[in-house]
């Protein structure tokens, strides 16, 4: 068997959680391969809304093993809050959630370092969520990190050494803080972690593949936030692309199967960083309000704009996408016309390849398409799609050269249409 990969193709918030939940019945194992609790996956079904930060989105479908892989960074305090909230709503995770021993731990002082580094940047701040993600990955790469497996081996000494190292950095930055309460809750989270299966996830996942079990790997954030290929330095601290699945779960590239690429029918971005198609007018605000474009974890308002096919083609290339999934089509239901960016101009030169760096000199080149002016939220099959919407899908498929197999027409699990038309 192969590992199928599902990931975002834009700047995050594409709707990955919902689609993982929809696809889960077809898989035996759902495994998260990177990111931390800054990535909120929102799921809605049976009249209820759930927000997952570290736990894979397949957790609601019974009988499936969910794995937090080694590429994830985990905050025990936030994990405990998340798991207990799910348990209170009737979803006991202890027998269907496993955590890699090699996943790195976010310490209380990592949060302090995150805030201190961001404050030191002043006007040049990245716009992090302040969850300690970046400093944790920094410690991982500098070989100073603590891992989940460390809670079983000489944990107190390792923690005290890491804390002392962080405090020396904070002191050098003249950053004042008090972590007493945070630290107490964090240690309660450490004890809570011990209730779960702590595994060598690379062996577990590969053994499942040998047994013919099916695995779906779930990414966080989006391709354009990848540490290497995103809009650096306004990126996250991990590899969000398909290659990150191999290092974040310990699977060989030859074991990658389908690659599901998720994108919105338009674009959004949270925090700082370049955004060529961003709209600063009433249209941008209308998309924001109709689409409820506010961060599921942070509550931050998302910047909104038209779809960017230059960036999308780039993401498809990097990930080797085999199937596309378009989200939030219904948000554009009321628009007379829709625009799509097919190129950029910079210093009078037009380009269709994503450049090394994006700045204010880059301007999008648009084509305009007719809107469908139809409420699609009640539709249950592609046979009901209006002609103008089908034309939009055809346009996108011709530009992107990958079939759009799934279309979302609303936030609920049931508002998902699988297309059977061969395109």
Catalytically annotated residues: 13, 41
293 CB-contact burial (10 Å; exposed 0-12 / middle 13-18 / buried 19+) = buried
Distance between CA atoms of 159 and 155, rounded to whole angstroms? Answer: 6
* 3-state secondary structure at position 416: strand
Contacts of 307 (CB under 8 A, 6+ apart): 263, 264, 265, 266, 267, 277, 340, 341, 396
The conformation of residue 277, written as its DSSP 8-state character, comes to T
The conformation of residue 267, written as its DSSP 8-state character, comes to E
Distance between CA atoms of 370 and 384, rounded to whole angstroms? Answer: 18
Residues 222-253: b if buried by 16+ CB within 10 A, e if exposed: bbbbbbebbbeebbbbbbbbbbbbbebbbbee
Give the tokens for residue 230. 């995103």
Distance between CA atoms of 371 and 331, rounded to whole angstroms? Answer: 11
Contact 41, 20 (CB under 8 A): yes
The conformation of residue 147, written as its DSSP 8-state character, comes to B
Contacts of 207 (CB under 8 A, 6+ apart): none
Contact 385, 376 (CB under 8 A): yes
φ/ψ of residue 74, rounded to 5: -125, 130
Cis peptide before 331 (omega within 30 of 0): no
Helix, strand, coil tally for the chain in percent (to 5): 35, 25, 40
């Amino acid at each position: 068997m192969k590992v199928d990969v599902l990931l975002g193709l834009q700047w995050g918030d594409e709707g990955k959680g919902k689609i993982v939940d929809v696809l889960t019945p077809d898989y035996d194992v759902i495994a998260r391969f990177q990111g931390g609790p800054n990535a909120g996956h929102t799921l809605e079904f049976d009249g209820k809304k759930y927000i997952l930060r570290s736990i894979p989105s397949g957790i609601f479908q019974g009988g499936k093993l969910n794995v937090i892989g080694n590429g994830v960074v985990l905050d025990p305090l936030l994990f405990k809050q998340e798991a207990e909230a799910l348990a209170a709503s009737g979803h006991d995770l202890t027998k269907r959630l496993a955590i890699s021993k090699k996943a790195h731990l976010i310490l209380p002082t990592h949060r302090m370092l995150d805030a201190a580094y961001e404050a030191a940047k002043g006007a040049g701040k990245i716009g992090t969520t302040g969850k300690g993600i970046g400093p944790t990955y920094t410690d991982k790469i500098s070989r100073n990190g603590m891992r989940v497996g460390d809670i079983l081996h000489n944990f107190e000494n390792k923690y005290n050494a890491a804390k002392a190292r962080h405090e020396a950095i904070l002191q050098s930055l003249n950053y004042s803080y008090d972590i007493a309460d945070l630290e107490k809750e964090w240690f309660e989270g450490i004890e809570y972690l011990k209730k779960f299966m702590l595994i060598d996830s690379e062996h577990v996942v590969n053994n499942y593949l040998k047994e013919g079990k099916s695995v779906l790997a779930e990414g966080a954030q989006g391709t354009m936030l990848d540490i290497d290929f995103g809009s650096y330095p306004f990126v996250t601290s991990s590899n969000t692309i398909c290659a990150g699945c191999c290092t974040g779960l310990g699977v060989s590239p030859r074991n990658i199967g389908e690659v599901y690429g998720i994108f919105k029918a338009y674009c959004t971005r949270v925090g700082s960083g370049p955004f060529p198609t961003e709209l600063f007018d009433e249209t941008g605000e209308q998309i924001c309000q109709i689409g409820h474009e506010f961060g599921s974890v942070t509550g931050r308002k998302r910047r909104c704009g038209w779809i960017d096919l230059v960036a999308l083609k780039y993401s498809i290339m990097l990930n080797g996408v085999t199937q596309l999934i378009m989200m939030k089509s219904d948000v554009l239901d009321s628009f007379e016309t829709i625009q799509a960016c097919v190129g950029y101009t910079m210093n009078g030169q037009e380009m269709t390849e994503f450049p090394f760096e994006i700045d204010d000199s880059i301007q999008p080149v648009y084509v305009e398409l007719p809107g469908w002016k139809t409420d699609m939220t009640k539709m249950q099959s592609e046979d009901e799609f209006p002609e103008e919407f089908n034309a939009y899908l055809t346009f996108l498929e011709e530009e992107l050269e990958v079939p759009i197999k799934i279309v979302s027409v609303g936030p609920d699990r049931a508002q998902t249409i699988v297309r059977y038309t061969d395109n």
